[in-house]
Amino acid sequence: MSTRVGLGVGRGSVRAVAIRRQRIVWAGEAPLTSSEALQATITTLLAQAPLPRWPKPFVHAAIGPHGAQVKRVIGLPEIGDADALAAIIREAVGTYFLKNGVPLLTTSVRPIGAGAAVAAALDRPYVDAIRAACLARGLRLGPIAPTAVALTHAFVDPSFCWNDGSLTIEASRTLDLLRTRPARREDHETPALTVVPMLAGLGESSLWYADAFGAATLDPHEPLSVQSEAGHFLSFAAPRRSLVQLSAIAALALFAVGLSPLAAKWAGNRATANIARLRPGRWKVITTTLGNLDRVSAVLNQARSFGDSRTSVSRLLGEVARLLPGDSAVLEFEWLGDHGEITVLARDPSAVLAGVRRLPNVRTVELLGSITRQSAGGRDLQRVTIRFVRAS
């Protein structure tokens, strides 16, 4: 059984575990000073691992919430084709995920109902750094997923709360509950989580290495992950083998012609028979490819028209920042396709309500919970949570 390495890319460190024969054989950690140093940090950390030269280990990775987003996407076309839904999200990625000027790589989806799915997006610089580090070490790369997805393999509890620097992940093992928010002081007072037996072998460090362990135990075909680019090369192996066979048959036929008329006839008959066997398969590949191209073109056209009708989250955030009072601070913001929730710290809650009501196409605005007082920077401010619904 080959060794599998799990990488957990956290806010200020990179953690790794190596698993062989259902047992953790090594665990290590390296500080991460900046995102630009990620490739060098991973390369150095993997060099410390006692990994066999053959068979080459597989590396699975998990990227924390600072470089990955997972969310429930609603308002999608009511189709059951996961590939089509993933294509729609990929073509309108700015509608569903915050980009912040960083290119994103979207994953496939997990459909969860009519017009709804769980989807993920990873910052491309992080993915590229992981791929380059594995290439430098000569290791095979498997799926790269968000930490929230990897953690579902690390805990026994039906739901968990896990901190990564200044951010906290709240999720259930089935991802029915999924939320990333700023870390709070009371997060350290939550009940202790129960890790799976294999991870429990690390003792007190088990929680710290939960992301790396979860990455190592990811399904190689996890839909909420970015797969290794090697798969694209392998997908051409079968057609190339057919072309090589066809070329070899033609060469043998020509060689036989030069030897004798009888050999030429036999070689020609064999070549004709082999070509006849290859032709239906090649024709099937061509017709299947054309059918897939037509289907993808239809999906992309649908995605473009659908994306044009969706609300841009970046534009919506800009409108919120412009309309809120100048002395206010947005603590939390969540957009769910047709409605959103925003938590604001301000001196005058009524001015916040008035600002939200001025957002374009807002239909209803309501308070959630009670208004609480909170001190910040020596000032007595009020914390208010507002739910607003925009017209379709």
Query: What is the token pair recorded at 303?
Result: 């995605």
The residue among 189, 210, 231 that closes a domain is 231
Say whether both 202 and 294 belong to one domain: no
Cα 53 to Cα 18, 29, 60, 290, 349, distances in angstroms? 14, 21, 17, 42, 63
The encoded tokens of residue 206 equal 């088990």
50 with 191, same domain: the answer is: yes
Does one domain contain both 222 and 296? no
Spatial distance between the Cα atoms of 101 and 259, rounded to a whole number of angstroms = 67
Question: Are 180 and 289 part of one and the same domain?
Answer: no
Angle, CA 186 vertex, CA 185 and CA 190 arms, to 5°? 135
Rg of the chain (C-alpha set): 27
Domain tally, the chain? 3
- The reported pLDDT for the residue numbered 305 is 64
Closest among 122, 121, 126 to 109, alpha carbons compared: 121
Strand-strand pairing, 379-390 and 339-346: antiparallel
The answer on 204 and 61 residing in a single domain is yes
What are 269's two structure tokens? 């008959």
Are 134 and 217 in a shared domain? yes
Say how far apart CA 184 and CA 172 lie, in whole Å. Answer: 19
pLDDT for residue 269: 73
Do 48 and 178 belong together in one domain?
A: yes
- DSSP collapsed to 3 states, 278-303: HHHHHHHHHHHHHHHHHHHHHHHHHH
pLDDT confidence of residue 146: 96
The region that residue 47 occupies, defined by phi over 0 for left and psi between -120 and 50 for alpha, beta otherwise, is: alpha
Domain of 367: which CATH number?
A: 3.30.1360
Q: Are 154 and 211 in contact (CB under 8 A)?
A: yes
pLDDT computed for residue 2 by the predictor = 82
pLDDT at 262: 60
Collect all residues with Cβ–Cβ distance below 8 Å to 148 and sequence separation of at least 6: 65, 68, 70, 169, 171, 175, 178, 180
Pair 125, 206 in one domain: yes
- Domain around 58: 4-231
Distance, in Å, from the CA atom of 28 to the CA atom of 245, rounded to the nearest integer, reads 48
Q: Are residues 95 and 183 in the same domain?
A: yes
**What is the C-alpha to C-alpha distance for residues 303 and 299, in angstroms, rounded to an integer?**
6
The answer on 247 and 226 residing in a single domain is no
- Sheet containing 178-182: order of strands: 159-164, 167-172, 178-182
How many Å apart are CA 317 and CA 337, to the nearest integer?
Answer: 13
Domain identity same for 100 and 156:
yes
Sign of the Cα pseudo-torsion (193, 197, 203, 207, in order): negative
Contact status, residue 11 vs residue 164, Cβ threshold 8 Å: yes
pLDDT value of residue 203: 92
CA 316/CA 364 separation, integer angstroms: 16
* pLDDT at site 239: 47
Query: Given 305, 339, 355, which residue is the final one in a domain?
Result: 305
Same domain, residue pair 325 and 354: yes
Asked whether 369 and 344 are in contact (CB, 8 A), the reply is no
Question: Which pTM does this prediction carry?
Answer: 0.63
Domain boundary among the residues 285, 305, 325 is at: 305
Alpha carbons within 13 A on the beta-carbon side of 298: 8
Per-residue model confidence (pLDDT) at position 160:
93
pLDDT per residue, tens digit, the chain (392 aa), is 689 999 999 999 999 999 999 999 999 999 999 999 999 999 999 999 999 988 899 999 999 999 999 999 988 888 888 999 999 999 888 888 988 889 999 999 999 888 899 999 999 999 999 999 999 999 999 999 999 999 999 999 999 999 998 899 999 998 988 889 898 888 776 678 899 999 999 999 999 999 999 999 999 999 999 987 644 433 344 445 555 555 666 565 555 555 555 666 666 677 666 656 655 555 566 667 777 777 777 777 766 666 555 556 777 888 888 888 888 888 888 877 778 889 998 888 888 888 888 888 888 898 888 888 888 777 888 889 999 988 76
